[in-house]
Structure 1
């Protein structure tokens, strides 16, 4: 696997070692292989790790597939994939409700990961999971296409640099915006569920913006400062406004969970250009 990346105009002068280790988060083992194999080039010339790199330089890396672990799964149905953004390093797709993000058993074939791998297979590309959406949730979800970009996307997600906005339709009438700050932990009685647990739970913060209040329901946007499992579902249930159609948290019934990952915004890991996608049509027009 060989990758050539042109450093953006915003790139600060640094050493190749610092670029690989601290900016691109290339694992130590792989950096060692790159150095001893001389598998790094700057502007087409074999490079040493102490050399400086500058804006506009082309950095070329050759990676061996055996240096990385990869989850082999069966091919799914590529026609199910709805790309929202795609380039040689990453892909964002619109996940349908009712589809798992990835298989838990080797013989599963009807998950989003199976379908994305089938979609990328003719291009001789792979898919690596960056984050997950609950099976019942629809909307924008991000996959890395190679192991070089995977840890960078993971760091952007961890540092809240990747921003995700959700749509939800909740039971009852909400009339004003609010911030919900309640720690979340596991439900001791049901391993599928999470609960508000201020003593042992992890900090969780959800910002709720009211879009439209109707007679018995409210359309809202949710922005997250943290990414706990079932965070939006648990927080909204805790204030007496569960998401319509939630099968776990005692909500009014509906054909599906009315939660949708509507928007994603992130800087491109290598070009620093802003990527912004919306997963249409969403829950309302």
Structure 2
């Protein structure tokens, strides 16, 4: 695998070692292989790790197939993939309601990851999970297309540098914006569910704004954290469960009325601003 990356205009001058370790988060083992094999080039010429690089330089890495591990998945149906954004390093797709993000058993072939593997196979690329959406949730979801970019996307997510907006339809009249900061933990009585647990739970922050208030209210939710079922548990905790939620709601609907409508991120290598919108949404 060969990756040629041109450093963006705002790239600080640093050594190749600093770039690989601190900026690109290349694992120590892979950095060792790159160094001893002399598999790093700057502007086409071999480069030593102590040498400097700067904006405009093209850094080329040659990585062997077995330097990174990959969990093979069965190929699904490539025709089910709806691409919202794609380049050589990452892809954002529009997940349908009722589809699992990834398989839990080797024999599963009908998850989004299976379908994406089939879509990428002709390009000799593979999908890597960055984050997940519940099976019942639709909308924008991000995958890495190579192991080099995966840890950088993970860091962006962890540092809250990937903006994710959701649409939801909730029970009852929610008249004003609210930020919910209740901690979330596991339900000891039902392993499928999460509960508000201020003593032992994990920090969770959800910002809710109102699009339309009525007997059922249309709201936007922005996540600062990514806990399992976070939006669903938080909205239920303030008395406005999501319509059609089989675990936390009561009002019947053909589906869970939760949709990942927008995603904003800065490209890990080019620093380009990427904005995607997953349509159709729940109301627009």
| Short-chain TM bin | over 0.9
Tell me how far 1:75 sits from its aligned partner.
0.6
Tell me how far 1:250 sits from its aligned partner.
3.0
- Secondary structure, counterpart of 2:107 in structure 1: coil
Gaps of 5+ in 2: none
Give the distance between the partners of 1:180 and 1:98, measured in 2 at CA: 27
Give the distance between the partners of 2:33 and 2:83, measured in 1 at CA: 34
Give the distance between the partners of 1:39 and 1:50, measured in 2 at CA: 14
Give the distance between the partners of 1:257 and 1:98, measured in 2 at CA: 9
- Secondary structure, counterpart of 1:207 in structure 2: strand
Aligned to 1:70: 70
Tell me how far 1:67 sits from its aligned partner.
1.1
In the TM superposition, what whole-angstrom CA distance separates every residue of 1:196-220 from its partner, at most 9, and x where no partner exists?
A: 0000001111100000112x20000
TM-score between both structures, scaled by the size of structure 2: 0.99
In the alignment, is the contact (CA less than 8 A) between 2:243 and 2:249 conserved in 1? no
Aligned to 2:230: 231
- Secondary structure, counterpart of 2:32 in structure 1: helix
* Alpha-carbon RMSD: 0.6
Structure 1 runs (4+) deviating above 2 angstroms are none
- Secondary structure, counterpart of 2:142 in structure 1: strand
In the TM superposition, what whole-angstrom CA distance separates every residue of 1:79-127 from its partner, at most 9, and x where no partner exists?
A: 1000000000000000001000000111100000000010111111110
TM-score between both structures, scaled by the size of structure 1: 0.99
Aligned to 1:171: 171
Aligned to 1:79: 79
In the TM superposition, what whole-angstrom CA distance separates every residue of 1:112-150 from its partner, at most 9, and x where no partner exists?
A: 000001011111111000000000000000000000000
- Secondary structure, counterpart of 2:116 in structure 1: helix
Aligned to 2:255: 256
Report the count of equivalent residues: 284
Equivalent residues in 2 for 1:53-202 (5 A)? 53-202=53-202
